[in-house]
Structure 1
Amino acid sequence: MGPLRVARGGPRPTHSPLACEPDMSGRCADVRAALSETTRNLTPGSPLRSLKTSLECDRVAYGVKRWSPLVAFRYPTLSYQRYLRYVEFCAAIDHPVGAVACAILRLRLKRLGQRIGVTVPPGVFGPGLSIPHYGSVVVNDKVRAGWFCRIHSATNLGESEGAAPCLGDGVYIGPGAVLYGAVTVGSGSVIGANSVVNRNVPANSLAVGSPAQVRPIGSAYEKVMPATIIAGIRKYGKQGPVE
């Protein structure tokens, strides 16, 4: 996939963090196929192109047709993500003006995050991130995640023994979930509410409980992942990034 090259906080992976290919069986085979296509079709571009792609995919994930001040009021987490993407963009520019703008935007991002209870460092999530409810979302800066992930409130993605989780594309994390340490969550997987994940979760799996147990996903993905995100996975997985 085509990440921004972020100088601070470490780069995003230049490919899907998963070693395994998604399973093509089940009711969501077409979505899973699109998830695998995101890795193959989305190629690196300029920082400006990466910014445009991130803003577009984030907006699509929220089901927002176009940006406006009213959208900022209705979706404070999406407003937070816009500042996040601008910080990533400025950090990718090797220019003194970019450094100054990055410092100002980082301050604004931090203040907004404190107000809504969201801490997502730059350079962690690929385009299409969705945080439907603000309040107590904490993500460590060593986390690396793919495209079109959805994270609910009261979640924590943390570090343990110097390592942090690595998420694939289209991962759903339910309210109250905790993921920590050197764990990999495969593309198209669902982490159930209040689950504690301290072991790897294969692609297209359901992980529930404390500690989390891996189960067949069945129809869980269709039930929990919004249609806007599934549509975004299909669109950008097959057509590539915004020009």
Structure 2
Amino acid sequence: MENYIETSRKVSLFIYRSIVRCFITTPMRWYSNLQWHIIKEQFKEIGSNVQIAFPFCGYGLENISIGDNFLSGERLKLRAFGEWEGVKYTPQIKIGNNVNIQTDCHISAINSVIIEDNVLIASFVYISDHSHGTCDYFESLISPIKRRLYSKGAVCIGKNVWIGEKATILPGVTVGEGSIIGANSVVTKNIPAYSIACGTPARVIKRLK
């Protein structure tokens, strides 16, 4: 009798959990899929088997290209600013094939940010080709959010690069193919191919080739 009661309890619990999944999880998945089908039409170019977790924040999607087999975690921010404070820009964000970006990453461009094939980016990574202003004294009298956006140059992340958690890639930087950027690093200058770089500012600590 006790075994029967225990079995009945487990069956009832299974049914209850299944109903909860049906009425809560499934509609959320439907909403995300519907939202994704609407958004993907706005990209400049997008490959096959692309998966972007929601919620997702994207500006200037018409200037953003994504290759095949792209995967992101939640709260990815892709921002290509065509205009800011009355100034027009011609930005591009181009992401290659087989790129994996984890949660809470922010990629922003007024010039060019290119991420080549097979790149892995950990969580909380910031990549930008611009800043608010040029560190001029008179600009410092203006609210930062009102300053003109200024690019020191394009950003390029080469093939097979691995960027560690909470790293920052600043304007005008190229990270060479096959390199590794350590967690919490701030990359202010070019990193050669097949190197390990870490620190603030990041410096090469080992060559892989």
TM-score when scaled to structure 2? 0.50
Higher relative contact order (CA 8 A, sep 6+): 1
**Greater strand percent: which structure?**
2
Higher alpha-carbon Rg: 2
Which protein is richer in helix relative to its size? 1
TM-score (norm 1): 0.43
